[in-house]
Structure 1
Amino acid sequence: MKNRIMPKVLFQIVCLCLTMVSLYPVLWMIASSFKESSRVFVDAYSLIPTEWHWENYTRGWKGFAGLSFAVFFKNTIVIVALSVTGTLLSCSLIAYGFARIKFRFKNFWFGTVMLSVLLPGQLILIPQYIIFYKIGWVNTILPLVVPIFLGSAFFIFLLLQFMRSIPVELDESAKIDGANRFTIYTRIILPLVVPALVTSAIFEFYWSWDKFFEPMVYLGKPKMYTVSVAMRLFADPSTQTDWSAMFAMGTLSLLPPIIVFFIFQRYIVEGISTTGLKG
């Protein structure tokens, strides 16, 4: 009995240590959000503030240039909502085409989609910026949203593997009953791939919420900034940076992803664990 318990205890201890190491930066940021700005790096090793400054959140929420962080949160939520919608609509439809429809050069086009995963975003940034500038999309959210409605290789592959686990006999039975491809897609396939759809939505939510580089490039007006870009403006090399206010807004920006994770975590596990299994 002792030989069985000891490995489990050691495993739990190792997991606990790794968890603490992973959570330490987050805990440090939360603690720093309550410290006086001048004491953030002086008391850098302390996770418990000597004095609790709740006004840091009020000061940070006021924002800058006459714009509060409510504006930046609203901009981020709009972009995230459109990005998640575009991902679910486009990637599920494309994945259904690769999983169920036979057409010429199918393997070639699927390989092309998968190769796009290896293409660095920085490589296509300049051509994309030139195109978006010429069609008047710069300083709008369109460059951040419209490409997502054209599909993403990662989510196409994720949904494709899930759809392949669904027996083809269900499609054939529906065809006998007179259902067309769109009916099969909406009435049979989509309800059966809900875990994968939720998993895709959650990952896209995380990635869109944390985006910094693209919004910084395409959004030139402060009233259009997202939360990540707005927090960057707290760091001013010409003056004293208000670290406490920046960490306070950083703490608030973590709340939506954390809430989404705890609400939908069972779908994440189910969606990832069943992806790739054959029916």
Structure 2
Amino acid sequence: MRVKSVKWWAYHILVGGFAILMLYPIIWLIMSSFKESTSVFTTAQSIIPHPWIWSNYSSGWHGIGGNSFGLFIKNTLVLVITTMIGQMISCSLIAFGFARLEFKGKAFWFALMMVTLMLPNEVVMVPQYILFSKLGWLNSIKPLAIPAYFGQPFFIFLLVQFIRTIPRELDEAATIDGCNTFNIFFKIILPLIKPALATTAIFSFYWTWDNLLGPVLYLNNPTKYTVSVALNMFLSNESVSNWGAMFAMSVVTLIPVLVIFFIFQRYVVEGISTSGLKG
């Protein structure tokens, strides 16, 4: 019993130590949001703020250039929701076609879709910018949101693997009952892939919320900036950067991410684990 107790304590101390180590950047961020900008990176300053600067949150929320930080959050939410809807609709339909339908060149098109996962973003950045410029989409969320309605290879692969775990007998039974292809998708497949769709929505939320390069590339009006661009605006090469306000707003922008994670984390685990059961 004594040996078992020692192992129990050793295990929990070790896991607790690793947890503190992993959470230290978040703790440092929160504590730094209450410090003066000039003392954030000083070695003599401890992790505990002294004094506590509560005004960092109010000054950060006032935003930059007369635009409140609430405006940037609203812009980001509009972009995130639009992108999530597009990803779930397009990727589920494309994945259903690859997993259930038979058509000429199916293996080739699937392999081609998977190859696009290996393309660096820098390769397609310039052609995409030229295309969106000719379409007149610059300085709007169209270049950031509309491509989501044409599928995303990672999510398509995830959903294909999930659909392959669903027995084909369900499709055959639905066909005998008079269902066509679209009815099979909407009445059989779609309700059963909810965990994978939830995983798609959550990762789409994270990646769109944190995206900095896209908004910087396509948006040039401060009233249309997202939170990632707005946080970058607190930094200045010509004067003193407002680190306190930036860290304060970074904490604010972390709240939706943490809420989404803790509410839907079981769907993430279920969606990813089930998708790997059948190749």
Is the TM value for this pair above 0.5? Answer: yes
Q: Work out whether 1:58 is the aligned partner of 2:86.
A: no
Distance 1:98 1:252 in 2: 41
TM-score, normalised to structure 1, is: 0.95
Q: C-alpha displacement at 1:16, in angstroms?
A: 2.7
May I ask how many residue pairs the two structures share in their alignment? 279
* 1:248 aligned partner, one-letter code: A
Q: Work out whether 1:207 is the aligned partner of 2:199.
A: no
Q: Work out whether 1:22 is the aligned partner of 2:22.
A: yes
* 1:176 aligned partner, one-letter code: I
Q: C-alpha displacement at 1:42, in angstroms?
A: 2.4
Q: 1:96 to 1:2 in 2, by over 3 A?
A: farther
Percent identity (aligned): 51
Distance 1:44 1:103 in 2: 67
- Partner residue in 1 for 2:136: 136
Question: C-alpha deviations, 1:81-123, integer Å up to 9, x for none?
Answer: 0111011000000000000000011110000010000001111
- Partner residue in 1 for 2:94: 94
Distance 1:45 1:185 in 2: 59
Distance 1:202 1:44 in 2: 40
Q: 1:202 to 1:17 in 2, by over 3 A?
A: same
- 2:35–2:53: 8 Å Cα contact kept in structure 1? yes
- 2:31–2:49: 8 Å Cα contact kept in structure 1? yes
Q: 1:103 to 1:61 in 2, by over 3 A?
A: same
Q: 1:45 to 1:151 in 2, by over 3 A?
A: farther
Report matched runs for 1:123-162 at 5 Å: 123-162=123-162
- Partner residue in 2 for 1:107: 107
Q: C-alpha displacement at 1:266, in angstroms?
A: 1.3
Q: 1:7 to 1:200 in 2, by over 3 A?
A: farther
Where does the alignment leave 5 or more consecutive residues of structure 2 unmatched? none
* 1:142 aligned partner, one-letter code: K
Q: C-alpha displacement at 1:187, in angstroms?
A: 0.8
- Partner residue in 1 for 2:170: 170
TM-score, normalised to structure 2, is: 0.95
Q: C-alpha displacement at 1:8, in angstroms?
A: 5.9
- 2:39–2:45: 8 Å Cα contact kept in structure 1? no
Q: C-alpha displacement at 1:7, in angstroms?
A: 5.8
Comparing 37-46 with 102-111, greater Cα deviation is found at 37-46
* 2:219 aligned partner, one-letter code: L
Distance 1:44 1:206 in 2: 35
- Partner residue in 2 for 1:266: 266
Q: Secondary structure at the match of 1:237?
A: coil
* 1:177 aligned partner, one-letter code: D
Pairwise CA RMSD: 1.7
Where does the alignment leave 5 or more consecutive residues of structure 1 unmatched? none
Q: 1:44 to 1:257 in 2, by over 3 A?
A: farther
Q: C-alpha displacement at 1:134, in angstroms?
A: 1.0
Distance 1:12 1:100 in 2: 47
Q: Secondary structure at the match of 1:94?
A: helix
